[in-house]
Amino acid sequence: MSVSSRLARSLRRRACWVLLALCGGLAPLAQAERVADLADFAGVRENVLVGYGLVIGLDGTGDQTMQAPFTGQGLTNMLSQLGITVPPGTNMQLRNIAAVMVTARLPAFARPGQNLDVVVSSVGNARSLRGGTLLMTPLKGVDGETYALAQGNLLVGGAGAEAGGSSVQINQQAGGRIARGAIIERGVPLQLGAADGSLELLLRQPDFATAQRMVAAINREFGRPVAAARDGGLLVLRGPQSDNERVNFLARVENVEVLPGTVRPRVIFNSRTGAVVLNGAVTLQRAAVAHGNLSIVIDNEPQVSQPQPFGGGETVVTDRANISVQQQGTALRMIEGGADLVEVVKALNALGATPQDLMSILEALKAAGALRAELEII
C-alpha cells in the first residue's frame, strides 16, 4: 500500500470519528475545572474591618439627637479634636447628621496606599443617608488596630418622598456604599507556606474523590510526587523555598485542570422568601402525592340593636363573627421519577403547587424515600 493510500485511509477514519462525536455517538466528556476554582491555599484569606463614624450633609433626614444621644456625643468628640469646644449640657438639635457603622473587607496581599470599597449603615433613627458625606472613619480589625481610613460621598440606591402625611419609598435608604472609599494604612502579614516550603491546599467542598483526583492531576503536571492528600479537604504540597519560585509553583498548581467528584444532591429552602432551589444532581423516584389547601375565614359583621320607640333604651352596636373552614382537596396524583433535573422539575410542576406548598411536598417525598437529596433550610 502506498503512503498516499495509507494517509487517505487515516484521514477518512478520523473524519468518521469526528462525525460520530458530533452526532452524539460518543458520550459527552465531563467538565473539568481549575484547581483555583475548587480550592484555596491556606493563609490566603480576607480580614473584616469595622468602624464607627458620622455622615453629614443630610437634608433633614438624619438622627433625632434626643432619641439617639450617641450621635451628639460623637459630634462633640469630633469637634473637640478639631479644636472646637462645645459647652457642657448643650442640646444640639441637628437633623443633618447620622451615626453609622462602616464595614469593609481587607483582601490578602493588600498593601498600604491601596483602596477598598466600604459599606455604610445607619445605627440611629435616620430616615435616609442619601446625599450624605462620610467623615474620616478609622477601620479596625479584631485586634483593635487601625488598618484603613474611610471617607467620601455615599451612593444610596433607594429613594423616597413624603408630603401631607403620605410617603413613598423605593428600596432601602438607611445604607449605602462608597466605591474605593477607604485607603489602606497597614497590611496584614502573610506567610505563604512553612519554612521548609510545604504548602496546604484547602478544598472548598471537601470530597475524597475530588482530593484523590486533584493529587493525581498535580503530580502528573509536575512529573513527580509533589502533592499528597491528608484527608478529603486538605492537600499538602512540597514547593520551593524561594519566594519567586514559589509564586511560579503556585501559579502552575492553580491552572491544573481537575475533574471534580459527583456533586452531592441538595435542595435549598429559603424560609423568608419561599424560594426553592435544586441542584443538578437531584433525582426523584416514582411516587403518588395528594395535596390540598386548608383555609379558615373569619368575618366580622356589625349588627345594630335598636330599642322600641319610647322604650327608653339605647342603641347598641355588636359584632357577629362568622367562621368558615374550607378545605380544597385533590385526588391522589402520580408523579413519574426523574433521573435528571429537567424531569424532576416537570414532575413537580405537574402538581401545580405554590413554592410554599412545594416545601411541604418535598419534605414528605424525602421522608417517603422518593427524593434522593439533602434538604437544607436557610
- Pick the residue with more confidence: 351 or 182? 182
- In a domain? residue 84: yes
- In a domain? residue 55: yes
- In a domain? residue 24: no
pLDDT tens per residue, range 317-360 = 666 656 555 555 555 566 666 666 667 677 767 767 777 777 77
- What's the order of all strands across the beta sheet hosting 198-203? 39-41, 198-203, 234-238, 227-231
| Residue 67: per-residue pLDDT | 66
**213 and 297 in one domain?**
no
Q: What is the rounded (10 degree) CA torsion for 217, 197, 194, 243? A: -110
Question: Grid coordinates standing for 372?
Answer: 434522593
| Residue 356: per-residue pLDDT | 73
Q: What is the 3-state secondary structure (H, E, C) of 296-310?
A: EEEEEEEEEECCCCC
- In a domain? residue 207: yes
**276 and 371 in one domain?**
yes
| Residue 317: per-residue pLDDT | 67
- For 263, residues 6+ apart whose C-beta sits below 8 A from its C-beta are 279, 280, 281
**179 and 52 in one domain?**
yes
**201 and 144 in one domain?**
no
Of 223-227, 279-283, 313-317, 352-356, where does the model show the most confidence? 223-227
Query: Rounded mean pLDDT of the chain?
Result: 78
- In a domain? residue 16: no
Domain count, the chain: 3
**216 and 135 in one domain?**
no
- Pick the residue with more confidence: 340 or 6? 340
Single out the residue of 138, 121, 132 nearest to residue 94, CA to CA.
132
| Residue 45: per-residue pLDDT | 87
Residue 54 is part of which domain span? 47-159+170-184
| Residue 25: per-residue pLDDT | 37
| Res 6 pLDDT > 60 | no
Q: What percent of the chain has pLDDT over 90?
A: 25
| Res 24 pLDDT > 50 | no
Phi, psi of 267 (to 5 degrees): -120, 125
| Range with the poorest average pLDDT among 2-11, 85-94, 181-190, 216-225 | 2-11
**112 and 174 in one domain?**
yes
**272 and 203 in one domain?**
no
| Res 149 pLDDT > 90 | yes
| Residue 366: per-residue pLDDT | 79
- Where are the extended beta strands (E) located within 275-346? 276-278, 283-284, 287-289, 293-305, 316-328, 333-335
Cα–Cα distance for residue pair 301/162, rounded to 1 Å: 35
Last residue of a domain, one of 220, 242, 258: 258
pLDDT tens per residue, range 226-274 = 999 999 889 999 988 888 888 899 999 999 999 887 777 888 887 777 7
**58 and 140 in one domain?**
yes
| Residue 333: per-residue pLDDT | 61
Instruction: Count CA atoms closer than 13 A to 367's CA, side-chain side.
Output: 7
Question: Grid coordinates standing for 120?
Answer: 455604610
pLDDT tens per residue, range 185-216 = 998 888 777 777 788 999 988 889 899 999 99
**206 and 151 in one domain?**
no
- In a domain? residue 118: yes
| Res 115 pLDDT > 90 | yes
- In a domain? residue 211: yes
Under the banding of pLDDT at 50, 70 and 90, the label for residue 87 is confident
- Pick the residue with more confidence: 70 or 207? 207
| Residue 188: per-residue pLDDT | 87
**99 and 126 in one domain?**
yes
- In a domain? residue 195: yes
- C-alpha distances (whole Å) from 271 to each of 249, 292, 294 are 45, 20, 20
**106 and 75 in one domain?**
yes
**328 and 291 in one domain?**
yes
